[in-house]
Amino acid sequence: MSQGGMFYNILSLGVPFSVALLLASLGEMFNQRAGVFNLGCDGIMCMGAFLAFLPPYFLKAGALAAYGNVLGLAAAVAAGVLLGLLFALVTVTFRADQGIAGIGLQMLGWGLAGTLFRHYIGGVTGVPGMSAWAIPGLARIPFLGGVLFNHNLMVYFAFLMVPASWYLLFKTPWGLKVRAVGTAPRAADSMGINVNRVRYQALMLGGAMAGLGGAYLSLCQARMFADDLVAGRGFIAVALVYFGRWNPVGILGGALLFSFAQTLQLSIQVGGIKFPYEFAVMLPYVLVILVLSLARQARMRGPAQLGIPFNREMRY
Amino acid sequence: MNKFKLGYGAGVILLAILAAAGAGALVLTAVGASPIATYVTIFTGPLKDLFGVTEILVRAVPLILVALGIAISFRSGIINIGAEGQMLMGILAATAVALALPGLPHGLLLPLVLLAGALGGGLWAGIAGILRARLGVNEILSTVMLNYIAAQLYTFLLRGPMIDPGELETGSGTPQSMRLPHSAWLGRLVPGTRLHTGLLLALVLAVVVYFLLWRTTWGFRLRAAGAEAKAARYAGISVERSLVVAMVLSGAFAGLAGAVELTGVHHRAIENISSGYGFSGIVVALFGALHPAGIVPAAVFFGLLLVGADMTQRSAGVPANMILVLQGVIILVIVSAKMYLNNAYAQERVRRLLARLAPAKSQGGLS
């Protein structure tokens, strides 16, 4: 394999590889911008992956088979919104400790997906998943065409979500509200913003996006479901929010960095340099710790009230 | 008023239990099991014979140890989610020591092995502690990542350098270490069962943790740093140092739990040896109100739950992952209920609501 070929492979594989992280991480960005640290992201991704897998699996031969993927995505979004609501109830209304509650939500989502999977499906089975759709014209651009414009629709959607999230967060009244309740909830409150309602909305949006991230894993990336399909990607997504400094563009960079590191390692192995499989699996997790250690400066610029519940009646 | 306070607390706890049991029932119905029958099996099945009872205690031992460590970390203001990985590192260290020094007498080797386990877990947790204290790295994220890394290291070592040579000869290649020498085994408490002397060790350590944290200046410093870091710093306590100390100690308990499980039950390092104790331990610690006196009964209760869940998997075909769902729900319910238990404001609101609903009664009994 020539060097250019390997480079091309890393890029064209790395771009779709980043999508699950990108979607979940953009969602988590909205949560954190609104002041809620949602570690349950991983559990939401598990449920999203499982529920997205169900419709295409059961409709395989039926008349509705063509809609399997669409129904799956809808189910994943619905599950994400519901789990986001549950997390909002616990952390916003009941004002519970967000870190511990997040671990609870992660166990709940992970366990529930595994329980239902084992009961209704049992073994590993594949689904057809979503096929690539080359953008006419653009896909024929040499090199770039294959890297950017020859993927399934979810990839395009995820990359369009980057500018869309940026616009939503920085250029719309709702985005301003989100940033306000995460930075100065008391001031937002006295300006007539319902802090808790905005936090609820942000958590529902974040949940929906985490659900979609999970759905991408089962429908597009692995085209099957397994207990450990998500494998902590939800936690990596949370870390990427720090790395990206709560900014969609930074998060895109982080997600790409992660997936390129993954594909680079894959192609090094394919290229004949062997190192133990376990160390390859370990790589992203080590990278997260490194990234978090280096993101010290970034944390100063994070939402000031991140992780602190808002109590309207409390006086300081 | 006092009577009302008690009733209020009991009401919150009752609601919490109902919420958790209700959520569990929903999931059980979804997998086609009868919730009541399943709950009955879970809570009475293991109590039917001596073996079942000892099995509960066998599960309770690692739960107590892990939960004690988690209580230390939570009380000191640093959240350790990494007990699962710390257990694995403890098991690796303990196995290595036991296999390297097979000639030592029982009285010397066993303590050494247990100590190695604690050291392995403590050092692994120390990474997260130092990262938090020095670089402000969120310890929840770093401990979760360290879990994944430890799991990979563990399988790598069991499949490669530490694999039982016998497995390679027979060609079955099961990833497991050699059997530990008998001098590294914990004794049996009840002959014919798996219950081992690790239970006594866990109970003793529960008392030790109580004294360390609540009866010494050193423990007071840790708890002060956890309760209010700013005030503690103002009082001259090095908050950063106590974060690291608490994390190392917490990991040491998890590592010890791994070593006890190794020397007491399995006698060799195998895959899935930690079987989720690291996560269940978090639930046990929270359920036991982060206090040794609560943790011991909570661990027995969750031991019952774990054994019962295994039984329902066999008898009713309910997947054992179900326990993970229950644990997640219990965590959510506990952290929610906690905000209402000591909340004078919510209490007052409930009191007024009750007074409005039954004006005559409140004047007589509750005021």
User: How many distinct structural domains can be found in chain A?
Assistant: 1
Q: Please check whether residue B149 touches A, CB under 8 A.
A: yes
Q: Which residue has the higher pLDDT, A166 or A142?
A: A166
In CATH, what number is assigned to the domain containing residue B76? 1.10.3470
Per the domain annotation, does B153 fall within a domain?
A: yes
**Cα A168 to chain centroid, rounded:** 17
Q: What is the pLDDT of residues A271-313, one digit of tens each?
A: 777 777 788 888 888 988 888 888 766 666 778 778 788 887 7
CB pair distance less than 8 Å for B325 and A107: yes
Instruction: Give the Cα separation of A49 and A55 in Å (integer).
Output: 11
Per the domain annotation, does B356 fall within a domain?
A: no
Per the domain annotation, does A313 fall within a domain?
A: no
Token output for A141 = 């651009």
Q: Which residue has the tokens 């009541």?
A: B36
Residues B201 and B329 in one domain: no
Give the angle A238-B127-B163 at the CA atoms, nearest 5°. Answer: 100
Residues B176 and B160 in one domain: yes
Walk along chain B (367 residues) in steps of 10 and give the mean pLDDT of each run.
76 85 88 85 86 92 95 92 94 93 85 94 95 88 92 90 78 80 84 88 95 91 88 88 94 96 90 86 90 93 89 79 88 86 78 78 46
pLDDT at B361: 52
CB pair distance less than 8 Å for B32 and A285: no
Residues B236 and B326 in one domain: no
Residues B131 and B277 in one domain: yes
ipTM of the complex: 0.89
User: Alpha carbon of A231 to those of A52, A161, A251, B172, B303: distances in Å?
Assistant: 17, 24, 20, 28, 27
Per the domain annotation, does B263 fall within a domain?
A: yes
Q: What is the pLDDT of residues A23-64, one digit of tens each?
A: 999 999 999 999 998 989 999 999 999 999 888 888 776 666
CB contacts under 8 A, B 21-40 vs A, are 27, 30-32
Per the domain annotation, does A307 fall within a domain?
A: no
Contacts of A268 (CB under 8 A, 6+ apart): none
CB pair distance less than 8 Å for B137 and A292: yes
A217-256 in b/e form (b: 16+ CB < 10 A) is: bbbbbbbbbbbebbbbbbbbbbbbbbbbbbbbebbbbbbb
Residues B24 and B166 in one domain: no
Residues B246 and B98 in one domain: yes
pLDDT at B362: 47
Per the domain annotation, does A192 fall within a domain?
A: yes
Instruction: Give the Cα separation of B138 and B122 in Å (integer).
Output: 18
Residues B60 and B23 in one domain: no
Per the domain annotation, does A314 fall within a domain?
A: no
Q: Residue B364: how many CB atoms within 10 A of its CB?
A: 8
Per the domain annotation, does B251 fall within a domain?
A: yes
**In chain B, which residues have their Cβ closer than 8 Å to the Cβ of A299?**
136
Asked whether B285 and B331 are in contact (CB, 8 A), the reply is no
Q: Which residue has the higher pLDDT, B134 or A124?
A: B134
Average pLDDT over residues A152-172: 92
Residues B178 and B293 in one domain: yes
CB pair distance less than 8 Å for A101 and B149: no
Residues B228 and B148 in one domain: yes
Instruction: Give the Cα separation of B144 and A253 in Å (integer).
Output: 23
Per the domain annotation, does A55 fall within a domain?
A: yes
CB pair distance less than 8 Å for B79 and A95: no
Asked whether B317 and B37 are in contact (CB, 8 A), the reply is no
Residues B85 and B171 in one domain: yes
User: How many distinct structural domains can be found in chain B?
Assistant: 2
pLDDT mean across residues, chain A: 85
Confidence class for position A160, pLDDT limits 50, 70, 90? very high
Q: What is the pLDDT of residues B20-35, one digit of tens each?
A: 889 889 988 888 888 8
State yes or no: pLDDT of A2 exceeds 60. no
**Nearest by CB to B156, which of A95, A99, A278?**
A278
pLDDT at A210: 95
Cα atoms in the Cβ-side hemisphere of radius 13 Å centred on A229: 36
Token output for A152 = 């399934």
- Tell which of B280, B335, B338 to mutate to test the A interface (max A CBs under 10 Å): B335
pLDDT at A149: 73
| Closest-approach residue (CA) in chain B for A227 | B321
Sign of CA dihedral B102, B104, B106, B112: negative
Residues B81 and B14 in one domain: no
Per the domain annotation, does B47 fall within a domain?
A: no
Per the domain annotation, does B44 fall within a domain?
A: no
B311-316 LR contacts (CB < 8 Å, sep 24+): B311/B41, B311/B42, B311/B45, B311/B46, B312/B33, B312/B38, B312/B41, B312/B42, B312/B45, B315/B41, B315/B45, B316/B33, B316/B37, B316/B38, B316/B41
Instruction: Give the Cα separation of B313 and B307 in Å (integer).
Output: 10
CB pair distance less than 8 Å for A119 and B137: no
In CATH, what number is assigned to the domain containing residue A154? 1.10.3470
- Secondary structure of chain A in HEC code, one letter for each residue: CCHHHHHHHHHHHHHHHCHHHHHHHHHHHHHHHCCCCCCCHHHHHHHHHHHHHHHHHHCCCCCCHHHHHHHHHHHHHHHHHHHHHHHHHHHHHCCCCHHHHHHHHHHHHHHHHHHHHHHHCCCCCECCCCCCEECCCHHHCCCHHHHHCEECHHHHHHHHHHHHHHHHHHHCHHHHHHHHHHHCHHHHHHCCCCHHHHHHHHHHHHHHHHHHHHHHHHHHHCCECCCCCCCCHHHHHHHHHHHCCCCHHHHHHHHHHHHHHHHHHHHHHHCCCCCCHHHHHHHHHHHHHHHHHHCHHHHCCCCCCCCCCCCCCCCC
Expressed as residue numbers, the domain containing A79 is 3-127+140-299
Per the domain annotation, does A312 fall within a domain?
A: no
Per the domain annotation, does B193 fall within a domain?
A: yes
Expressed as residue numbers, the domain containing B155 is 53-318
Per the domain annotation, does A42 fall within a domain?
A: yes
**In chain B, which residues have their Cβ closer than 8 Å to the Cβ of A108?**
324-325, 328-329, 332
Per the domain annotation, does A310 fall within a domain?
A: no
Residues B251 and B116 in one domain: yes
CB pair distance less than 8 Å for A313 and B345: yes
